């Protein structure tokens, strides 16, 4: 096994920082050979089967093309749960775990109806269903492929969720497709401007779905504005709105929500100190 570990590190040393290589090594050995990091020393003389060596070689070759390890392995961890991921959905991020945490803290024990707009892999909806036992969860997306993935993730994690295909940018359609009065709307919508592509890493730009990432340069609040308008019609009085946001537009989102009549608006920083979450009350 020592030889295999050296092969992975040597193959990736010019492409990834040392800390990321260490994480990749741990993931590969766990998923392919079922060897936990704390067993590496005890297994250093272990001879890996040819099938495992071949699978590791395939993974390394794809990593050299900057393909995300989560897509290669087909799964990603989120809030202590495991989700199927593929190029039709974004890879769940730690910042989104912080968004989910806010929703859980504010609504624990309540019998409420929650809508997740732009569900993607379903990581937000499924996690909320697992932790808010009294809540009923509806999840929407415009993408058929994303909804198929989200349904599989709900089944994988034994979570009962109502899935609806709709387009939040088409208000009349969205209002018809989602015939519910809601207590909470949560969304991690597209929020990266097209002009920001120049600074993005290849593993995101080349592999993750652009429909879930980008907004027009001249309309960075496109989705937030439409969701806020939808919320004014569908949220109960004092219902809550939760957004993950582009760190550059926190004050703009707050100002827009104020203009739309929302109250108790909070701008919350993530663990890196960046503006990342906005929550408000109707």
Establish whether 188 is an annotated binding residue. Answer: yes
The percent of residues in the chain predicted with pLDDT above 90, rounded, is: 80
Establish whether 121 is an annotated binding residue. Answer: yes
Establish whether 120 is an annotated binding residue. Answer: yes
Say yes or no: domain 86-281 is CATH 1.10.1200.10. no
Beta bridge partners of 141: 165
Establish whether 141 is an annotated binding residue. Answer: yes
Establish whether 219 is an annotated binding residue. Answer: no
In the chain, domain spans:
2-65, 86-281
Sheet containing 263-269: give its strands across.
Answer: 162-165, 136-141, 113-117, 182-187, 235-244, 275-281, 263-269
Establish whether 109 is an annotated binding residue. Answer: no
Range 180-185 average pLDDT:
97
Confidence of residue 41 (pLDDT cuts 50, 70, 90): low
CA atoms of 189 and 223, how far apart (whole Å): 6
Establish whether 96 is an annotated binding residue. Answer: no
DSSP-based three-state secondary structure for 91: coil
- Per-residue pLDDT reduced to its tens digit, 233-281: 999 999 999 999 999 999 999 999 999 999 999 999 999 999 999 999 9
Establish whether 250 is an annotated binding residue. Answer: no
């Amino acid at each position: 096994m020592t030889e295999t570990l050296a092969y992975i590190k040597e193959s990736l040393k010019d492409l990834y920082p040392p800390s990321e290589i260490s994480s990749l090594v741990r993931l590969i050995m766990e998923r392919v050979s079922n060897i936990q990091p704390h067993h590496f020393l005890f297994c250093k003389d272990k001879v890996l089967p040819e099938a495992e060596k071949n699978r590791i070689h395939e993974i390394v070759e794809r990593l050299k093309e900057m393909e995300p390890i989560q897509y290669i392995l087909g799964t990603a961890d989120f809030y202590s749960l495991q989700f199927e991921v593929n190029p039709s959905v974004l890879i769940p991020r730690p910042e989104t775990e912080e968004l989910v945490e806010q929703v859980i803290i504010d609504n624990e024990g309540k019998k409420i109806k929650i809508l997740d707009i732009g569900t993607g892999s379903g990581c937000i909806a499924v996690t909320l269903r697992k932790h808010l036992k009294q809540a009923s969860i509806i999840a929407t997306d415009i993408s058929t492929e994303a909804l198929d993935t989200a349904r599989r993730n709900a089944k994988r994690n034994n979570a009962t969720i109502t899935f609806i295909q709709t387009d939040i940018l088409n208000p009349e359609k969205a209002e018809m497709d989602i015939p519910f009065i809601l207590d909470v709307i949560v969304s991690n919508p597209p929020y990266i401007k097209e002009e920001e592509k120049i600074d993005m890493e290849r593993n995101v730009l080349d592999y993750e779905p652009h429909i879930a990432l980008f907004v027009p340069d001249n309309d960075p609040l496109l989705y937030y504005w439409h969701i806020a308008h939808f919320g004014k019609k569908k949220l109960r009085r004092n219902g809550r709105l939760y957004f993950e946001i582009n760190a550059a537009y926190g004050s703009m989102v707050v100002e827009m929500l104020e203009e739309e009549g929302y109250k108790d608006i909070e701008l919350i920083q993530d663990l890196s100190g960046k503006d990342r979450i906005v929550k408000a009350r109707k």
